Structure 1
Amino acid sequence: MSHPPYCTCRPGATIWLTGLPSAGKSTIARAVAELLRAGDRRVEVLDGDELRMSLSSELGFSPEDRRRNVQRIGLVAEVLARNGVTVLVPVIAPYADVREAVRTRHEKSGTAFLEVHVATPVEVCSARDVKGLYAKQATGQISGLTGVDAPYEVPKAPDLRIEPHLQTVDESAAAVQTLLIEKGLA
């Protein structure tokens, strides 16, 4: 018995949450995943930090390595999404051209891709400092921190821009869910 190459039951999609370190991307992605699973959706969270330790463990943080890491994550997301999974991707992805390349990959396969800018100001991210990166950068223990001494190219026209420092996690997650409903993807 042969099967169609793509799941036709429900469309999958990639929701790419980009923003600075400690912006709240992973927290929001997990909250959105809970909402979608409650609606009986197949959902996967591809957390940038987790994938960096497995899929891209040999990569460093040079611009080239950061690009390669994002391309790998984009490929995995696209494969899952074109097979009916809603994929939430909380990852810094500092370069606009690579984010656009991931979007193009999705478009070529007819797979939905939504970019969500988690627009938390660097001052708020630094105060949260979930992983201690801002403190290490401030004391010279590390360099190349995205948004501080390494570039972060803010999305010019994301599908959604949320400001989690001005709303609750639940409100941020609801905004993403509303976007998915508006696009016929929830």
Structure 2
Amino acid sequence: MIGGHDARFAETESIVTPRQEIVRQDLQVRREQRAAIKRQAPRVIWLTGLSGSGKSTIANALESRLHALGYHTYILDGDNIRHGLNRDLSFSDADRVENIRRVAEVAKLMADAGLIVIVSFISPFQADRDMARTLMENGEFVEVYVDTPLQECMRRDPKGLYRRALMGEIKQFTGISSAYEAPTKPDVHLKTTTGAPSDMAAEILQYIDVARS
């Protein structure tokens, strides 16, 4: 007889690895119809960069601009997601990979609903960002590199995390004791030391085309 803990583990395993009898259901309303009624083209705008680089600030500036223009949007923020959906994950490399896998799947569902999704995650590994791109329709995924030098991020240190990481209080901290793989060919490359967040948001808007005739 399987005990309570083992039973829950077995149930989780069946959810994580779909079996052959789990078949995708066809939906009567197509993703194109959902986007058309919103009069916009779905996008997943993926902001990646070090902690303190300005991702969240730029994401909010971008969403404010899009909202003012009448677009339907949502921000998936790394800190917010770790308070709920991903609260069970640590900062090990394996859990960082799972962190991005989950949020990429959520972003895909939101894009399928016709939304413009702004993802603000450190997402340190290129392979995970590439995986997220493959989930989306062609041209739908926009990788935005929020390029702020490590020393500038450490100077800003809005949450005091770099100070704690340097003191050894935080293990596996990206940029200090855990690697960050900067994009080599991002769709949009923002050098944040050369402009304000509103300028960065405008640069992203110049790149993307979300209008639907």
The answer to whether the superposition gives a TM-score over 0.5 is yes
Which is further off, 110-119 or 17-26?
Answer: 110-119
Asked if 1:106 corresponds to 2:136, the answer is yes
Cα deviation for residue 121 of structure 1 reads: 0.5
Q: Which residue of 2 aligns with 1:36?
A: 66
Q: Which residue of 2 aligns with 1:78?
A: 108
- Secondary structure at the counterpart of residue 131 of structure 2: helix
Cα deviation for residue 169 of structure 1 reads: 0.9
Q: Deviations over 1:48-74 (max 9, x none)?
A: 110011111011011000000001011
- Secondary structure at the counterpart of residue 94 of structure 1: coil
Q: Which residue of 1 aligns with 2:22?
A: none
Q: Give structure 2 stretches of 5+ with no counterpart.
A: 1-26
Choose the corresponding residue for 1:161, options 189, 193, 205.
189
Q: Is the 8 A contact 1:15 1:113 kept in 2?
A: yes
- Secondary structure at the counterpart of residue 149 of structure 1: coil
Q: Is the 8 A contact 2:35 2:42 kept in 1?
A: no
Choose the corresponding residue for 1:5, options 21, 25, 30.
30
Paired with 2:153 and 2:185, the residues of 1 have a C-alpha distance of 22
Q: Deviations over 1:85-139 (max 9, x none)?
A: 00000100000001100100113xx570000000000001001111111000111
Asked if 1:134 corresponds to 2:180, the answer is no
Cα deviation for residue 82 of structure 1 reads: 2.1
CA RMSD after TM alignment: 1.3
Q: Is the 8 A contact 1:45 1:87 kept in 2?
A: yes
Q: Which residue of 1 aligns with 2:174?
A: 146
Q: Which amino acid aligns with 2:169?
A: Q
Q: Is the 8 A contact 1:37 1:43 kept in 2?
A: yes
Q: Deviations over 1:149-169 (max 9, x none)?
A: 100001011000001122111
Q: Is the 8 A contact 1:11 1:82 kept in 2?
A: no
Q: Which residue of 1 aligns with 2:4?
A: none
Percent of aligned pairs sharing the same letter: 36
Q: Which residue of 1 aligns with 2:47?
A: 17
Q: Which residue of 2 aligns with 1:91?
A: 121
Asked if 1:118 corresponds to 2:143, the answer is no
Q: Which amino acid aligns with 1:38?
A: A
1:164-179 equivalence runs, <5 A: 164-179=192-207
- Secondary structure at the counterpart of residue 27 of structure 1: helix
Query: TM (normalized to structure 1)?
Result: 0.93
Which is further off, 13-22 or 111-120?
Answer: 111-120
- Secondary structure at the counterpart of residue 71 of structure 1: helix
- Secondary structure at the counterpart of residue 136 of structure 2: helix
Cα deviation for residue 144 of structure 1 reads: 1.2
Cα deviation for residue 3 of structure 1 reads: 4.7
Call closer, same or farther: CA 1:13–1:116 in 2, change over 3 Å.
same
Matched positions, count: 180
Q: Give structure 1 stretches of 5+ with no counterpart.
A: none
Call closer, same or farther: CA 1:159–1:111 in 2, change over 3 Å.
closer
